[in-house]
Structure 1
Amino acid sequence: MSRRRSSLRRSKYEIYNEILSIIYYQSDLPLTRIARAANLPVDRAKPLLQFLQKRNLIYEEEDEGLTVYRIAPNGVEFLELFKRLAKLVPSEDDLEGVNF
């Protein structure tokens, strides 16, 4: 199986989409559960959540003494736009073997 290393890596936007999807579908999750679900180390997930929070895509709240993350309306809009964009623009894997 000879997949190129670059095709195994997720783009930043794919990671943002995955994190937002996890929060959207599972809601009220702490950092560690989000990191585990997104297959990211916690030390890498934390700055990504801060990035999404600064852009009003997610917000954090205290729930029974635990900091949890929830998706904001802008985060839902991001998910919708990402889904539309993914339909319009094929991935590199879809273009394998196509010559331009």
Structure 2
Amino acid sequence: MSRRRSSLRRSKYEIYNEILNIIYYQSDLPLTRIARAANLPVDRAKPLLIFLMARNLIFEDEDEGLTVYRISPSGVEFLELFKRLAKLIPSDDDLDGINL
């Protein structure tokens, strides 16, 4: 059971990618909506957003008095590169049955 459970875990890069995709496609979202869409507790999502802001992948903005997050050009570039890497590197599920 633990093997299956570990294969369901997302890497930190998969989580960054998911958050960036959510912000890219839904734009101008507050923390709670991003956390819910990424299936993360708010207290775990906030440090991830701070991490992404520190690397200029997203930025905070105000919309009618509400703090919202938007993706930067660097964030869009990250999404493009992540998609290219995902095509080059097979997931663990793709390697089932292959002896390495």
Q: TM-score, normalised by structure 2?
A: 0.96
Q: Unaligned stretches of 5+ in structure 1?
A: none
> What is aligned with 1:15?
15
Residue matched to 1:74: 74
Per the normalisation by structure 1, the TM-score is: 0.96
Q: Please give the per-residue CA displacement for 1:9-68, whole angstroms capped at 9, x wherever unaligned.
A: 000000000000000000000000000000000000000000000000000001100000
1:4 is aligned to: 4
DSSP-derived class of the 2:45 partner = helix
Aligned to 1:95: 95
Q: CA RMSD in A?
A: 1.3
**TM-fit CA distance, 1:82:** 0.2
SS at match of 2:76: helix
Which structure 2 segments of 5+ residues have no match? Answer: none
Instruction: Give the 4+ runs in structure 1 shifted more than 6 A.
Output: none
1:57 and 2:91 equivalent? no
Q: Report the CA distance between 1:2 and its aligned residue.
A: 8.4
Q: Which amino acid aligns with 2:21?
A: S
Q: Using the alignment, how far apart are the partners of 1:87 and 1:20 within structure 2?
A: 18
* Residues paired across the two proteins, number: 100
How far the C-alpha of 1:4 sits from its partner, in A, is 1.6
